[in-house]
A = this chain, B = another copy of it.
Amino acid sequence: MLYRQQYGIPVEWGTAVTVQAMVFGNAGDDSATGVAFTRDPANGEKVFYGEYLVNAQGEDVVAGVRTPKAMAEMAKELPTSFKQLEKVRSKLEKHFRDMQDFEFTIEHGRLFILQTRNGKRTGLAAVRIAVEMQKERLMSQETALLKIPAESIDSLLVPVFDPKALKAAPVIGKGLPAGPGGATGRIAFTAAAAELETRKGNKVVLCRTETSPDDLKGMLHSQGILTSRGGVSSHAALVARQLGKVCICGAGDISINYERKTLTAGKFVLNEGDYISIDGSTGLIYKGMIESADSEVTRVIDGKLKASKSYTYQLFQTVMKWADKHRTMNIRTNADTPAMAQRAVAFGAEGIGLCRTEHMFFDGDRIDYMRQMILAVDEVQRRSALKKLLPFQRKDFVGLFKAMQGRPVTIRLLDPPLHEFLPHDDTVRRQLAQKLNVPLDFVIERIKALHEENPMLGCRGCRLGILYPEITEMQTRAIFEAAAQVLKGKKGIKVKPEIMIPLVGFRQELADQLNIVHRVAKEVMTKRKIKINYLVGTMIEVPRAAITADEIAHEADFFSFGTNDLTQTALGLSRDDMGLFYEAYQQKEIYNKNPFASLDQTGVGKLIELAVERGRSTKPNLKLGICGEHAGDPSSIDFCHRAGLDYVSCSPPRVPIARLAAAQAKLLN
C-alpha cells in the first residue's frame, strides 16, 4: 500500500497473479540460480552484472539469506552456462532495447530464463545507460530522454563525501555498493526509530540485517540504508535504487543486534543514535560523521574540475543538451539572492520566475527598519521607515539584475502577513522597544493587534499594498532605480523586470497596484532619462483569480500560478496543519499523492486550465508560468506543458530535473 502511495498507483488497479511452471536450481551442484543485469544497475557501466548461487532456489538470492557470488566467478565455475548467458544478455538488450534484469535457473546444466524486465537502476545508471545505448544505436535520442526518470538527474548533483574528510575517516567495514553517493546520519535500527529521528530534524542511516516491505517508510526517512545480509538485488538494494537513496548491502563485516540495539564491526560497537557514514559508490562503511562535498557536476560548474576530467559531467551535459533541444517550455528559477541566481543560471535557468522580496528584509539592520515600518501608527512614520529600507532593496535588485545578465527577473511584491516579521521573544521585543524609543507595552499591543485567526487568509499579498500604498511605491522605486543603475552602468547590462502582484482575486486589486507601479516607473524613468522595458502581472493563487481570469487578464501582462497557495485555498487545506490527519488520509488512500508535492491535477489542475483558457480568451499572448513547489515535480511539469504554460520556475537545484521533465512532456504529448 505504501508502495502504491509512493508511486501514485490508484487502488482501483488491484494486483495481478501469474501462475508458472517450476524449474529447480537446487537439484545438485550442476544446478544454480541467479539474477543478472545486462549492465551495472548501480553506475550504468556496460558490464555483465549480477549474482548466482549453486544448488539454490531464487528466494535464496533475493531474500539475501546466503550471500551469492558475483557473475564473473561463474565464468570459471559453470563456463558453458556462462557463455549461454552472455549470448542471452546481448540478445535481450537488442530485443528490448533497454537494460534488462533477468532471472535464470540452471537445472542439471540446462539454462532456463525465468523472467526478464527492464532493470531498475540508480539515477546515475539511468543517465549513463540511456546515453551509451543511444551511442550504440540501441535507442533514439528521444527514447533515451524518455528512459531517464527526470528525478534521476538529481543523483548526479547531490553532494558526495568530501575527499579529505573521507580519507581521515575510520573504515569499519565494507559491503556491496548498491546505491551511489555518500550518506551520514544517526544509526536507526527500525523504521520507527528512523522516523522518530528525522522528526527531530536529525539525519538517519537505517541499519538492518535485511529489509522487508515493512521497512519502506523507514527507508524513505533515511539518508542511506545499510544491510548486513543480501546482495545487490535484495529488497534493500532494489528499493534504495528506486528512491535514489545511498545504499550498502550484504556487509558481512558488521553484525546487528536488534535487542541490544548495537551494530558491531570488528572492535567497534556502535549504538542506536551514534553517527555512521556509508559510501554507496564504494561500499565502504565509516564510523562517525563525514563532511559531504559537491558532486562532480557541481564542481565542474563551479570551475573546480575540468569538464573533460568528469565522465559524469559529460553524461549530464549530453542529456541536458538533448532536453533543451526538445523542450518548448522555458525553465526559470525561484531565487532571492545573486548567489542563488548564479547557481540556477549555471544549472540552465533562463530567468527568475519568483524573487520573494520579503526574504530581503531579514538581514542585519533591515529587520529593524522593517519592524519600525510595521509598528508605524501613521503614513508619515511608515514612509520614514520605508525610506531607510529603499537603499537595501535597490542594492539587492542591482545584484540580481547583474547576476541574471538581461534574463527576465520576476519580482513579487511584499506577500506575507506583517506579523511574521515581528519578534515573538520577550527579550527581542524589549530591545526593539528600546531601539525604536517606544514603550514596550506599545510594541506588545501592536503585535497583539496584528494577530490573525487565519493568517493564510488574512492581511497579506496585494492587500498590504492596497492598505499601505507606500510599500508598493518603495518597492517599485527600488526596482526601477536598480534597473536604471544597471542599464546605465559601464557594462550596459540589459534588464527585464517583471513585477508580480501577489494574492489578487479581484481585477480592481490589480488595477489599484498597477497604477502605483506605472506612476513610480514613469517618475524614475523621467528622472533618469532612460526607458526600461518591464511587465506587470499577477499571481493566480486564489480560486477566484482563476475563475475570473478573463477579467484579471485585462490588467495583467502575465500570470504566474502560485500553486502552493492555490492548493491550500482550493482544497481548504493548510499545509502547516495537515499533520494531524494526513496519516489517516494516506492509510485510507484519499490523496493519491501529497497535493503539496505533486499537483492535484483533478482539482487544482482544473482551476489552472480554466485560468489559462479564460486569461488567453482576453489576451491571447498572455505570458503564463508557475512558481509553486510543484514547478520542480516531473508529473506536475508534464501537466504544465499540457496546460500550455510558457515556463515553470523551480528552486535552483531542481532546474536540471525541470529541463529534462519539460523535454519529456513535449515528447509524450
Contacts and interface: CB of A to CB of B under 8 A. Distances in A.
A572 B569 contact: yes
Interface stretch (A213-221, A346-354, A458-466, A528-536): A458-466
A600 B509 CA distance: 15
B456 A547 contact: no
Interface stretch (A122-130, A575-583, A626-634): A575-583
Contact of A569 (B570, B581, B606): B570
A431 B456 CA distance: 34
A115 interface: no
Interface in A535-553: 541-544, 547-548, 551
A548 to B, nearest CB: 6
Nearest to A453: B576
A188 interface: no
A606 B607 CA distance: 12
Given A454-B456, A541-B572, A466 B547 contact: no
Contacts of A589: 508
Contact of A457 (B547, B577, B585): B577
A547 B544 CA distance: 12
Contacts of A600: 544
Contacts of A543: 543, 569-572, 603, 607
Copies of this chain present: 2
Contacts of A512: 588, 590
Contact of A547 (B506, B581, B606): B606
B547 A571 contact: no
Given A542-B571, A569-B572, A572-B542, A458 B577 contact: yes
A3 interface: no
Given A590-B506, A591-B506, A600-B544, A457 B581 contact: no
A664 interface: no
A467 interface: yes
Contact of A459 (B503, B569, B581): B581
A544 B547 CA distance: 12
Interface in A564-618: 565, 568-574, 576-578, 580-581, 584-585, 588-591, 600, 602-604, 606-607
Contacts of A551: 602
Nearest to A588: B512
A455 interface: yes
Interface in A27-82: none
Contacts of A574: 452-454, 456-458
A177 to B, nearest CB: 41
A230 interface: no
A505 interface: yes
Given A506-B590, A570-B543, A580 B459 contact: yes
Contact of A467 (B571, B576, B580, B591): B580
Interface centre among A568, A577, A600, A604 (most CB of B within 10 A): A577
A453 B572 CA distance: 13
A600 B505 CA distance: 11
Nearest to A458: B577
Contacts of A565: 572
Interface size class of A (residues with CB under 8 A): 35 or more
Given A569-B569, A572-B569, A590-B466, A453 B577 contact: yes
Contacts of A570: 542-544, 547, 569
Nearest to A451: B577
A505 B569 contact: no
A576 B459 contact: no
Interface string A294-326: 000000000000000000000000000000000
A467 B581 contact: yes
A57 to B, nearest CB: 41
Contact of A456 (B453, B467, B506, B571): B453
Interface in A121-141: none
Contacts of A568: 457
B459 A577 contact: yes
A217 B192 CA distance: 61
Nearest to A452: B577
Interface centre among A568, A584, A589 (most CB of B within 10 A): A584
Contacts of A588: 466, 508, 512
A544 B606 CA distance: 9
A512 B508 CA distance: 42
Contacts of A541: 572
B457 A456 contact: yes
Nearest to A456: B454
A508 B590 contact: yes
B454 A577 contact: yes
Interface string A211-243: 000000000000000000000000000000000
Given A466-B585, A548-B602, A573 B508 contact: no
A540 to B, nearest CB: 11
A484 B9 CA distance: 43
Interface in A467-510: 467, 503, 505-506, 508-509
Interface of A: 450, 452-459, 461, 463, 466-467, 503, 505-506, 508-509, 512, 541-544, 547-548, 551, 565, 568-574, 576-578, 580-581, 584-585, 588-591, 600, 602-604, 606-607
Nearest 6 CB-CB pairings of A with B: A542-B572, A457-B574, A458-B577, A544-B603, A543-B543, A454-B574
29 contacts: A452-B577, A454-B576, A457-B574, A458-B578, A458-B580, A466-B585, A466-B588, A466-B590, A467-B584, A505-B572, A505-B573, A506-B603, A508-B588, A542-B570, A542-B571, A542-B572, A542-B573, A543-B543, A543-B569, A543-B570, A543-B572, A544-B572, A544-B600, A547-B570, A547-B606, A548-B602, A548-B603, A565-B572, A569-B570
Given A453-B455, A459-B578, 4 more contacts: A463-B585, A467-B581, A551-B602, A565-B572
